């Protein structure tokens, strides 16, 4: 969701997916009526949220909110590397839950990597912690992941009902994620660092308004306000303040038009595939096993990306029903920790790591994912049944 425009692989992704979405409509492979229903009626509220939360997160970053949060973690850690690891986990979890997984991947990643360089700490454990939690901590609220927004739309349940159902799985997923990575990097996460000095924000007004807008946004969504409306209101407030006190930060690049086109293309392409038999095939493969549906969703997410995997598997669930929907979400949200294209957030994260001179080979990323992701998935699935 919230993301600067990324070069390289993402350029190819948005072009291919956008072209595919246009092609299925132009050729009539997806009937015009169905294309309007999916591409406009269903997609517009999701895309409106995507745009608004991107603007909100980008301006909050420009105001120094994420830098201040990371520095606060370092000061609160009092020089203990293991404690700092835990505090960064709390920050990444809170950012993912309240501001979406892509905000964590794109805006928190460079902040955390800059902090590790400043404190002379190994960046790899912290980089992986951020992207793992960007995925595994995206279960609790509808705004944490686009798949959740789609599930809320499909099931027609309230935000509190959704959060109540996902609370225990979310707790299990975060705990196992942090525990696994802490054990994996136990030899690296030792020693101490020099506690950094407090650095006040450049503009206290934009900083304060941005913090209040972010908190108010999450509170409004939790209270039942439509996510797109809450995000638009919060972004509008911050935009107004920046128009007066920080106009240099207002640029067209704030708007994630490539991600919007990619998401719209995915909506149309996957719907066309579902209309031509993909939905029936996935339903038959998943059977009636909750764990089977979760595993299939995780595998599909790693093969084709989590958003199309969710859209395809959702067709097996009757509209207005939540039965089976949460099992699918566990797979599509937690599962994409093996392939880097499993979620757009991971591609964005990899780009931010490269910008900092840190390259994580896809093979190593996959090996770590295969070793730990099944435990997170199984733990969250078991907690869902409690």
Q: Which residues of the chain have pLDDT under 50?
A: 1-8
Q: What is the pLDDT of residues 304-324, one digit of tens each?
A: 889 888 988 888 787 777 778
Distance (Å, whole) CA 333 – CA 58: 23
How confident is the model at residue 339, as a pLDDT? 95
Cβ 21 vs Cβ 267: under 8 Å: yes
Alpha helix (H) residue ranges in the chain: 9-26, 32-36, 43-62, 65-76, 81-99, 101-103, 109-118, 123-136, 146-155, 159-184, 204-222, 227-245, 257-273, 279-286, 290-304, 306-314, 325-334, 344-355, 362-384
Q: What is the pLDDT of residues 18-56, one digit of tens each?
A: 888 889 888 989 888 888 888 888 889 999 999 999 999
How crowded is the C-beta side of 178, counted as CA atoms within 13 Å?
18
How confident is the model at residue 273, as a pLDDT? 84
How confident is the model at residue 283, as a pLDDT? 64
Q: Which of 288, 362, 272 is nearest to 28 (CA)?
A: 272
Distance (Å, whole) CA 221 – CA 230: 6
Q: Which of 6, 99, 117 is nearest to 61 (CA)?
A: 99
Parse the chain into domains and list their residue ranges: 9-274
- Buried b / exposed e along 176-200 (16+ C-beta atoms within 10 A): bbbebbbeebeeebeeebebeeeee
How confident is the model at residue 279, as a pLDDT? 65
């Amino acid at each position: 969701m919230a993301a600067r425009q990324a070069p390289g692989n993402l350029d190819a992704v948005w072009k291919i997916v956008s072209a595919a979405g246009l092609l299925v409509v132009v050729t009539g492979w997806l009937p015009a009526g169905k294309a309007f229903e999916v591409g406009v009626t269903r997609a517009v509220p999701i895309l409106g949220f995507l745009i608004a939360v991107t603007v909100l997160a980008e301006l909050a970053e420009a105001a120094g909110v994420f830098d201040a949060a990371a520095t606060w973690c370092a000061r609160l850690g009092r020089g203990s590397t293991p404690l700092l690891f835990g505090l960064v986990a709390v920050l990444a979890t809170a950012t993912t839950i309240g501001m979406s997984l892509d905000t964590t991947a794109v805006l928190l990643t460079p902040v955390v990597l800059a902090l590790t360089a400043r404190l002379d700490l190994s960046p790899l454990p912290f980089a992986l912690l951020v992207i793992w939690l960007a995925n595994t901590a995206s279960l609790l609220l509808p705004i944490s992941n686009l798949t959740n927004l789609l599930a809320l739309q499909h099931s027609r349940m309230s935000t509190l009902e959704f959060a109540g159902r996902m609370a225990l799985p979310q707790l299990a997923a975060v705990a196992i994620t942090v525990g696994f990575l802490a054990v994996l990097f136990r030899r690296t996460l030792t020693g101490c660092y020099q506690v950094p000095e407090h650095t006040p924000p450049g503009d206290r007004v934009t900083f304060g308004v941005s913090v209040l807008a972010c908190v108010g946004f999450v509170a409004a969504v939790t209270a039942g306000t439509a996510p797109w409306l809450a995000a638009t209101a919060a972004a509008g407030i911050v935009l107004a303040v920046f128009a007066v006190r920080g106009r240099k930060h207002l640029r067209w690049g704030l708007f994630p038009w490539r991600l919007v086109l990619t998401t719209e293309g995915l909506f149309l392409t996957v719907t066309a595939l579902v209309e031509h038999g993909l939905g029936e095939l996935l339903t038959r493969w998943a059977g009636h096993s909750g764990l089977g549906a979760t595993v299939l969703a995780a595998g599909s997410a790693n093969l084709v990306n989590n958003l199309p995997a969710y859209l395809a598997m959702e067709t097996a669930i009757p509209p207005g029903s939540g039965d089976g929907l949460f099992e699918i979400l566990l797979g599509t949200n937690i599962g994409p920790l093996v392939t880097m294209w499993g979620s757009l957030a991971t591609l964005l994260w990899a780009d931010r790591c490269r910008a900092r001179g840190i390259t994580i080979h896809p093979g190593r990323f996959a090996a770590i994912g295969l070793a730990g992701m099944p435990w997170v998935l199984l733990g969250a699935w078991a907690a869902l049944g409690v």
